[in-house]
Amino acid sequence: MAMTIHVDVVSAETSIFSGLAEFVVAPATLGEVGIFPRHAPLLSRIKPGALRIKLPDEAEEVLIFVSGGLLEVQPNVITVLADTAIRGQDLDEAKALEAKQAAEAAMKDKSSEVDYARAQAELMEALAQLQTIQKLKKKTH
């Protein structure tokens, strides 16, 4: 049996995942970070993207979309405190495409009083959701 580490993924609404993993890949602000058991302690912000969790004795990884938040790594536990977290299979591609188009339109409309930074953040989140959906589709084919 491979070495494992306990992982907790929680959002403002609920606990999304709690269990053992062989490794975790998280979308840290400076790039993806891979975490194995006995990793050095770490505290990092995470950006919108796919959190990948490799379960023991499972070929498939669990994919969870996170919209941002914090990642804490301790010797025996990884904690992801996400602003929003959605299981990969629960992502809605049509809704993400619609959000992407709305954000792009808001950014193009110079006469609008829409906050450009907010529209840009919504665009980045929609793109990250679409990338997560694409990873999930590749995994199932």
The pLDDT of residue 41: 95
User: Within this chain, do residues 42 and 80 fall inside the same structural domain, yes or no?
Assistant: yes
Question: CATH number for the domain including 100?
Answer: 1.20.5
User: Within this chain, do residues 82 and 95 fall inside the same structural domain, yes or no?
Assistant: no
- CA pair distance 139, 6, nearest whole angstrom: 24
User: Within this chain, do residues 22 and 39 fall inside the same structural domain, yes or no?
Assistant: yes
User: Within this chain, do residues 17 and 71 fall inside the same structural domain, yes or no?
Assistant: yes
Each residue's pLDDT tens digit, 99-122: 666 666 766 765 555 576 677 677
Q: Based on the structure, what is the number of domains in the chain?
A: 2
Q: Give how far Cα 130 sits from Cα of 47, 76, 124, 125, Å.
A: 14, 32, 10, 9
Which domain range does residue 126 map to? 91-140
User: Within this chain, do residues 82 and 23 fall inside the same structural domain, yes or no?
Assistant: yes
| Residue range 91-98: mean pLDDT, rounded | 64
User: Within this chain, do residues 39 and 64 fall inside the same structural domain, yes or no?
Assistant: yes
The pLDDT of residue 55: 94
User: Within this chain, do residues 69 and 99 fall inside the same structural domain, yes or no?
Assistant: no
Q: Is the pLDDT of residue 91 over 70?
A: no
The pLDDT of residue 132: 72
The pLDDT of residue 53: 95
Within a 10 A sphere around the Cβ of 98, how many other Cβ atoms?
12
Each residue's pLDDT tens digit, 34-90: 999 999 999 999 998 889 999 998 888 888 989 889 999 998 999 999 988 888 666
Q: Is the pLDDT of residue 135 over 90?
A: no
User: Within this chain, do residues 70 and 9 fall inside the same structural domain, yes or no?
Assistant: yes
The pLDDT of residue 75: 86
The pLDDT of residue 94: 65
User: Within this chain, do residues 19 and 79 fall inside the same structural domain, yes or no?
Assistant: yes
User: Within this chain, do residues 74 and 101 fall inside the same structural domain, yes or no?
Assistant: no
For helices 93-108 and 116-140, the axis angle rounded to 10 degrees is 150
The pLDDT of residue 7: 97
pTM for the structure as a whole:
0.69
